[in-house]
Structure 1
Amino acid sequence: MSEEDKIYRLPDALERKGIHLKCPICGQDSFSVSPQLREYIIPAMDKNKNYNMNVDLGNPIYTLVCNSCSYVLCFSIPIADSIVDAFDADE
């Protein structure tokens, strides 16, 4: 599997770990991957540069969008990738 496809495997990998995705806003359990938000970097504020935004210090995330209310769940890419890798190794 390519690195770019890992997010599509994340919901199944989380389920296998016993983590059931449920929207904290509407309670639904149906999420999808938005092509526009699939991978994103949350910029950090750099206290050494007058608290300006700095994407180099940011956190790369995967996002899943609730199919009911559009709430966005964010997952750290390095941690999510390790969960998916472990899931793939078990198959």
Structure 2
Amino acid sequence: MNSGQLLTMHSDVVIKKLLQLADKSYKSFLRASNTSYNAEIGTSRYWKAIGSMEQSQFEFNDYMKQLKFMDELTQWSNKLHQDRYKFVEKYDIVMEKYKLS
């Protein structure tokens, strides 16, 4: 058994974890953007929120790249009708952004 076969067999576990992390970073981005809108421009609270937004956006984009790589390797997005990928419905916002990218 090689690494490609192992990833193909357990792709649902890897995809689930990547979707969880992407969802978490997206929600973190939303929280930081709400904070930046409420804070006065130039305050430390504002700049901290901006930094957090940038970090969350970077993480989210990285998770999207990893999902694309897994899709190229295992074609998981073509198998969403299978029961083992039922969890994808929970991450509708992330999947919407994935399909747009």
What range describes the TM-score normalised by the shorter chain of this pair?
under 0.3
**More strand as a share of residues:** 1
Which of structures 1 and 2 has the bigger CA Rg? 2
**More helix as a share of residues:** 2
TM-score by length of 1: 0.24
